Amino acid sequence: MRNSDHARDRLTVVGGGLVGSLLAVYLARRGFGVDVFERQPDPRMPGPRSSRPSINLTLCERGLAALDAVGLKDRVLALTVPVYGRRIHLIDGSTAFQPYSNRGEAIHSISRNELNAVLVAAAERERGVAYHFDQKCTGLDSRGGTVSFEHAVTKARTEVGPTKIFGADGAYSGVRLQLQKTELFDYSQQYSPQGYKELAIPAGPEGRPVLEADALHIWPRGDFMLIAFPNRDGSFTCGLYAPFHGEHSFASLTTEERLVAFMHEQFPDIAPCIPSIAEQFFARSANTMVTVRCRPWSRHGNVLLVGDAAHSILPSYGQGANAGFEDCAVLDRCIERHPNDWRGVFAELEELRRPEMDVMADLCVEHFYELREHVAEPRFLLRKAVERRLQELYPERFASLYSLVAFTRTPYSEAVRIESRQRALVDRILAVDGIEQKFRSEMTTLVEHCLQEVA
Amino acid sequence: MRNSDHARDRLTVVGGGLVGSLLAVYLARRGFGVDVFERQPDPRMPGPRSSRPSINLTLCERGLAALDAVGLKDRVLALTVPVYGRRIHLIDGSTAFQPYSNRGEAIHSISRNELNAVLVAAAERERGVAYHFDQKCTGLDSRGGTVSFEHAVTKARTEVGPTKIFGADGAYSGVRLQLQKTELFDYSQQYSPQGYKELAIPAGPEGRPVLEADALHIWPRGDFMLIAFPNRDGSFTCGLYAPFHGEHSFASLTTEERLVAFMHEQFPDIAPCIPSIAEQFFARSANTMVTVRCRPWSRHGNVLLVGDAAHSILPSYGQGANAGFEDCAVLDRCIERHPNDWRGVFAELEELRRPEMDVMADLCVEHFYELREHVAEPRFLLRKAVERRLQELYPERFASLYSLVAFTRTPYSEAVRIESRQRALVDRILAVDGIEQKFRSEMTTLVEHCLQEVA
């Protein structure tokens, strides 16, 4: 198809997933016609689902604000379960609860597939938006502004353009792969040595959840961990995170016997609640997780990468979708500031967002390690308690990195700067002799003392 | 073509450049049949040459040793010009000579195209080696061990395999691009913000060279530089290295007038010797330079990356081809140690070579900066003089990093360890008051003094 009739106004979004669909809504609201080309089948159609992982994700302030700006927040929130903190499950059966916030703030668990379906439906309701499913991106001429697709079933080839092309096709982006072959395109993809598999925990009798439903549950075990996200129907979606190779790895769990023994030994309190563990586990290979960085995000004022296609990060802060949604909102403001100047729009988006995502990429690698290894250590728990107490005592002066990331729209880079200043103070407090004992009784004095020393 | 008749013994090398051709020789000597598939036309054929840059390169001990092991050293050396050091040309017309070695050792300047032609000819003389030119790699099944090509002219498609596939197809490797799409393949490509263009300086009257012919000539100018390599016929091949963008960049040199003014202003002593500067300069766009790292280098015991395809580095130490040749020699020893076990061969090669090339990649980025910026500074020259004096005084104990890289086969990583120990001593010497004056007269005492302090 050649959109020559509407060449000036008709835009092309590659990828009809979360970010591509929200982007289509934003662009339509600005009066553009939008063609969305998606490699997978329509997510609302029955039949065998695609190879896309369907594990839950969590929406927080950044993502919700971007949905709110186009009136989609409430529709999406209706599909979520609020999660107020992490319940840590130790191997001896004891647990500890770490609230995300001391103001009762929550993040919101939602099934990726349900969120995708609602966003596709919302985009299709916009005037001038058309979806084309089963279309794989096979070629790109960034200078000419044309892009080619091949239909998964008919193998028919389509060339679109000249048009503006938005590569919102995820961590394994086909648009980016094409850009990678162009001159001076810096690129890196780095896989986590860990992968994950999904396991479902159904609701108990009378639809009652088998775990508290307003928490995210974590079973940290060093090299590997289990996480459970609550769903609205009382069920949970689990992710088993483990190395691909080595002891306690996906490569070592090759038989039903070994798997069942491993699950019951490592997760004794929850393994009995996971039915058909082996069937679920062996149905699919483990999903990979990749950190992607590249630059530039745009070429010739014709092609722009957004969302995971531009900056895939590990899921440790639950920021992938939120950051992608934030891209859409920021892009919208760039379009407002640079009417009829796509080069200007794309340059400003990258200038605003790339440094943020570089910071976040590093943070996610560090935090992923922290979640598996340290989250259950007494010293780590004490640090978290001290941070929370500081926030209670000086709510205007202290905010944890997590709360800045999850409950505000403070730029990631600014959040990290704030955290590193606060860390110095917390380090001083933790270095005080007998801090465990003094903590409750003398906290205020302690803080005053340390503040003087640090200042 | 399906090599099913010879499936066990016939190997496939993708890339008939420097490394692919030497590798074919090595493999043939071990009794394997080898098909070499090269994207470009036959380098020995007349006609418009390919898009491959033809700038000179320098061979040193590592590369020569790898050629020597298959009896090609003398044939190649006959095409080279020995280079004993760098002649630095300052903007005021003054020059300084920095010998590479104080034992009279030289590196060897050679035209890349001539070297390529001699290696292709050598490989074709081996029993069982066949070249297939104009064949672009278009697909790879690393699990099945098959690889596909498309002929540049006829567009005919060929599938080869099952076979063992050696990706020796350079920094922009097609084999690597295919591997990049496979699971858990870590990859990064990082371009230098600088590029280069070739400029030829013909011989003067009666074939006499216009510069001393046994040196590499450098005009360091901070952001940019000119380098001249001697050829056997008295001519020189220059590389003008400059940023792609900004002041004094390829983007700023857009007219003949600007270019000629720039060249005469910046390189007054040599610009008059470069004929048709503008014609040469504007004939081609600037070449890019890229640092490539990836892992793993092999898949399923069927595919292996070697040379630039596995580890492209900046040309600052002149190590690209030398390191690629060294790969061939090391691979040959791995084949000897693991007969009939390609998985074992490939794993050992990567274990031995990847850490070395990671070190070298970093070193080349640093040294490239040094060549442009510091090589003409008095402090840098003094440091080099001190290092040379240390080598004279204690030839068994001191060796410069450059000499370890260029004149020995010491592993790169070991060379860097040696250098960092020595650097501490040189730093101490340079910190002595009035070192410039004391240098000649009291060097030995100074060294003894500093050695005691450092120890």
pLDDT at B7 over 50: no
Q: Write out the two tokens for A110.
A: 């939602």
Q: How far is it, in rounded angstroms, from Cα B198 to Cα B239?
A: 5
- A427-454 residues labelled b (16+ CB within 10 A) or e (exposed): ebbeeeeeeeeebeeebeebbeebeeee
* Interface list for B 216-275 with A (CB within 8 A): 244
In angstroms, the first-to-last Cα distance of chain B is: 66
Angstroms from A187 CA to nearest CA on chain B? 5
Which residue from B minimizes the CA distance to A243?
B184
In angstroms, the first-to-last Cα distance of chain A is: 65
What CA–CA distances, in Å, run from B125 to A310, B25, B34?
A: 49, 9, 12
What's the pLDDT score for residue A98?
Answer: 86
| A239: three-class secondary structure by DSSP | strand
Within chain A, what is the greatest distance between any pair of CA atoms?
75
What's the pLDDT score for residue B453?
Answer: 57
Q: Would you mind telling me the total number of residues written for chain A in this entry?
A: 455
What's the pLDDT score for residue B450?
Answer: 61
Closest C-alpha among B182, B141, B183, B184 to residue B165: B141
Closest C-alpha among A346, A353, A362 to residue A409: A353
B211, B236 Cβ separation under 8 angstroms: yes
CB contact under 8 A, A184 and B191: yes
What's the pLDDT score for residue B6?
Answer: 40
B194, B364 Cβ separation under 8 angstroms: no
Greater model confidence, B367 or B71: B71
What's the pLDDT score for residue A440?
Answer: 64
Residue range B139-159, pLDDT digits in tens: 999 999 999 999 999 999 999
Q: How confident is the model at residue B447 (pLDDT cuts 50, 70, 90)?
A: low
Percent of chain B residues past pLDDT 90, beyond the cut:
73
Q: Where are the domains of chain A?
A: 4-56+111-190+289-366, 194-281, 378-454
Q: Which of A179, A182, A186 to mutate to test the interface with B (most CBs of B within 10 A)?
A: A186
Angstroms from A22 CA to nearest CA on chain B? 27
Residue B390 has a CB neighbour count (10 Å cut-off) of 20
Chain A positions touching B174 (Cβ under 8 A) are: none
Q: How far is it, in rounded angstroms, from Cα A352 to Cα A349?
A: 5
What's the pLDDT score for residue A445?
Answer: 67
What's the pLDDT score for residue B428?
Answer: 86
Region B23-40: mean pLDDT is 97
Q: In A80-135, which residue ranges form alpha helices assigned H by DSSP?
A: 112-125
Taking one residue from A and the other from B, the number of pairs with CB-CB distance under 8 angstroms is 35
Region B59-83: mean pLDDT is 97
Q: Write out the two tokens for A196.
A: 């994950």
Task: Tell me if ipTM is over 0.95.
Answer: no
What's the pLDDT score for residue B5?
Answer: 40
CB contact under 8 A, A190 and B189: no
Which residue from A minimizes the CA distance to B243?
A184
Q: Would you mind telling me the total number of residues written for chain B in this entry?
A: 455
Burial of B410 (0-12, 13-18, 19+ CB in 10 A): middle
Q: How confident is the model at residue B424 (pLDDT cuts 50, 70, 90)?
A: confident
Angstroms from B294 CA to nearest CA on chain A? 9
Q: How far is it, in rounded angstroms, from Cα B384 to Cα B368?
A: 16
Q: Write out the two tokens for B65.
A: 């040793």
B413, B355 Cβ separation under 8 angstroms: yes
pLDDT at B89 over 70: yes
Q: Write out the two tokens for B252.
A: 């700023």
B113 in contact with A, Cβ within 8 Å: no
Residue in A172, A183, A191 closest to B186 by CB:
A191
Residue range B155-192, pLDDT digits in tens: 999 999 999 999 999 999 999 999 999 989 999 999 99
Chain B positions touching A180 (Cβ under 8 A) are: 189
Q: What is the DSSP string of A124-151?
A: HHSTTEEEE-SEEEEEEETTTTEEEEEE
Closest C-alpha among B375, B78, B90, B101 to residue B232: B78
Which residue from B minimizes the CA distance to A285?
B183
Q: What is the CATH number of domain B4-56+111-190+289-366?
A: 3.50.50.60
User: Could you write out the three-class secondary structure of A163-202?
Assistant: CEEEECCCCCCHHHHHHHCCCCCEEEEEECCEEEEEEEEC
Residue with tokens 């850490």: B355
Instruction: Chunk chain A into consecutive blocks of 10 residues (it has 455) and report each block's average pLDDT, rounded to whole numbers.
Output: 48 98 98 96 69 78 98 97 94 89 91 94 97 97 97 96 97 96 94 94 94 95 93 95 94 95 96 95 94 97 98 94 98 96 98 96 86 72 82 81 91 92 86 77 64 57
Q: How far is it, in rounded angstroms, from Cα A151 to Cα A134?
A: 6
B188 in contact with A, Cβ within 8 Å: yes
A31, A127 Cβ separation under 8 angstroms: no
